[in-house]
Structure 1
Amino acid sequence: MHTTLIDAATLALHAADPKWVILDCRHDLLNPAFGREAFAAGHIPGAQFASIDDDLSGPKTGTGSTFLGRHPLPERAALVQALRRFGIDDDSQVVAYDAQGGMYAARLWWLLRWIGHQAVAVLDGGLPAWQAAGQPVTAEPAPQRSAGGIAERPSLTRTVSVDDVVANLGTQDFTVVDARASDRFRGENETIDPVGGHIPGAKNRFFKDNLGADGKFKPAAQLKEDFAPLFASPAAAVMQCGSGVTACHNLLALEVAGLPGAALYPGSWSEWCAAPERPVATGA
């Protein structure tokens, strides 16, 4: 069972195994059509496309038209149905990949753990690592798979709500760690964040800092050392980002480092800044 990362060589050995399900999670925040177009142009043989917007997120508004962020969590039942359409069973080994260092594949990794499925891993280095290893890509449509029977089980993850984060401004029971780039954290990138800044008291850990120069995750010991100054323990840490997607990259890195137990704030900055009464900090 692979539960965090998998390398290209290992995936190649099992790519044709009917018990393995490979999902392409490529995406672009500024171009929603990018993922499907990239998949159609070339993907790992046997892979299926999983849309961040359509398959791995829920409606942006909740009760009373409350804005829940750009990529809210899907309803658990809806997620299970989407995963069954991909042919995922309770005993399936799922492998997620993208071409952006795992920033989107980690969302699928986290969601499967959210519904209690442990056998899910991210392809370390993504599609570039696959191709660098001499493995093929194809533009052929993915073969039709029979519907899977994956069932929801007790969650392997934790979440906090926006109300929890508001309350924490006073209690400081946990440390919020923001996975966005430093310019977005400081409030200097209006293209992506029309309302710039960060949650007061949050610390910045850009998700790309989890990767080495080769685009693969740093060794566990290095990741553990990198995260050490940010919080006292993972149980007292909450990961967030712009919309709850790249925060999962930090959560994956923590698992690789042997530091499990941190929570996700799914609504993240896009939900937080939508209500003017919530305070905003700017600068470093």
Structure 2
Amino acid sequence: MYTTLISAADLAGHVSDSGWVSLDCRHDLLNPDAGRDAFAAGHIQNAQFANIDTDLSGAKAGPDGVFRGRHPLPARAALIETLRAWGISDDTQVVAYDAHGGMFAARLWWLLRWVGHRAVAVLDGGLAAWQAAGQPLAIPMTPVAPRARGTLTERPSLTSTVSVDDVVANLATQARTVVDARAADRYRGENETIDPVGGHIPGARHRFFKDNLTPEGRFKEAAQLKAEWTPLFASAPQAIMQCGSGVTACHNLLALEVAGLTGAALYPGSWSEWCADAARPVATGDTPAGN
């Protein structure tokens, strides 16, 4: 069973296995059609396309009409149905990949763990590693064997989340360390092009998700990740991961899992939800000394 990362070589031996499902999570935050267009141009054999905006996210407003962020979590029942439609059952090994160092694939990894499915891994190095290993790409007209509907059952979650109210309450106590996965300039409140307000949650520390990767785009070794992450918080279970909309924060959660620092929570709404209410405080600049 693969539960964090899988190499291109290991995946290559299983692309035709009926008990394996590969999902292409390529996406562009500024171009919603880019992922599907890239999938149509070429993808891993027998892979299916997973749309971040629709398949892996829910309604942006809750039943009360309040904005929940750009990529809120889908309803659990709806996600289970989507996963079953992809042919996923309780004994299925799922592999998620993208072309962005796991930036989007990690979201699917986290969501499967959220509904209790442990056998899910991210292709280390993504599509670039696949092609570097000499593996071919398929196109939509390539014959694909019909896949039976899966029978995945919802099981106890392997993850935890916090709400915006939890994060607001934490401002006073700072009992839990909030870690922001966005690029440094966006964290500082500079060059914000996605959300209407720049800055970060007061007290949040910064760990750009790309810092989890080697220059070749693969995850760093577990020991190195542990050494880099440990100074950020006293206890992983007391840490909260966030980003712009709850997507790249999952990359940091995957890195923590690889490092053996388990138990941190996801703030799904992240900065996009936080900054939507002007009553919530905003900090700018670098992390204060000693924070």
- Whether TM-score is above 0.5 comes out as yes
What's the TM-score once normalised by structure 2's chain length? 0.96
- Output the amino acid matched with 1:258: G
Asked if 1:128 is matched to 2:128, the reply is yes
- 2:97 corresponds in structure 1 to 97
- 1:156 corresponds in structure 2 to 158
- 2:192 corresponds in structure 1 to 190
* Shift, 1:192, TM fit: 1.7
- 2:220 corresponds in structure 1 to 218
Distance in 1 (CA, whole Å) between partners of 2:33 and 2:191 is 22
Distance in 2 (CA, whole Å) between partners of 1:73 and 1:188 is 27
- 2:266 corresponds in structure 1 to 264
Runs of 4+ displaced beyond 4 Å: none
- 2:179 corresponds in structure 1 to 177
Distance in 2 (CA, whole Å) between partners of 1:83 and 1:4 is 18
8 Å Cα contact 1:42-1:139 kept in structure 2: yes
- 1:254 corresponds in structure 2 to 256
Cα deviation, 1:165-211, whole Å, max 9, x if unaligned, reads: 00000011100000000011011123123200000000010000000
Write out aligned runs for 1:1-12 (5 A).
1-12=1-12
Asked if 1:119 is matched to 2:97, the reply is no
- 2:208 corresponds in structure 1 to 206
- Output the amino acid matched with 2:130: W
- 2:13 corresponds in structure 1 to 13
Distance in 2 (CA, whole Å) between partners of 1:143 and 1:250 is 35
DSSP 3-state at the match of 1:185: helix
- 1:108 corresponds in structure 2 to 108
Distance in 2 (CA, whole Å) between partners of 1:71 and 1:175 is 22
Cα deviation, 1:87-118, whole Å, max 9, x if unaligned, reads: 00000000000000001000000000000000
Distance in 2 (CA, whole Å) between partners of 1:107 and 1:95 is 12
Asked if 1:87 is matched to 2:109, the reply is no
Distance in 1 (CA, whole Å) between partners of 2:33 and 2:61 is 22
Aligned-residue Cα RMSD (Å) equals 0.8
Distance in 1 (CA, whole Å) between partners of 2:134 and 2:177 is 42
Distance in 2 (CA, whole Å) between partners of 1:64 and 1:119 is 35
- Output the amino acid matched with 2:269: G
Distance in 2 (CA, whole Å) between partners of 1:54 and 1:143 is 25
Cα deviation, 1:105-156, whole Å, max 9, x if unaligned, reads: 0000000000000000000000000000000101135543111000100000
Identical counterparts, % of pairs: 74
- 1:70 corresponds in structure 2 to 70
* Shift, 1:83, TM fit: 0.2
- Output the amino acid matched with 2:75: E
* Shift, 1:52, TM fit: 0.3
- Output the amino acid matched with 2:35: G
8 Å Cα contact 1:184-1:193 kept in structure 2: no
Distance in 2 (CA, whole Å) between partners of 1:191 and 1:4 is 31
Distance in 2 (CA, whole Å) between partners of 1:119 and 1:166 is 34
What's the TM-score once normalised by structure 1's chain length? 0.99
- 2:32 corresponds in structure 1 to 32
Q: Which runs of 5+ in 2 are unaligned?
A: 287-291
- Output the amino acid matched with 2:177: T
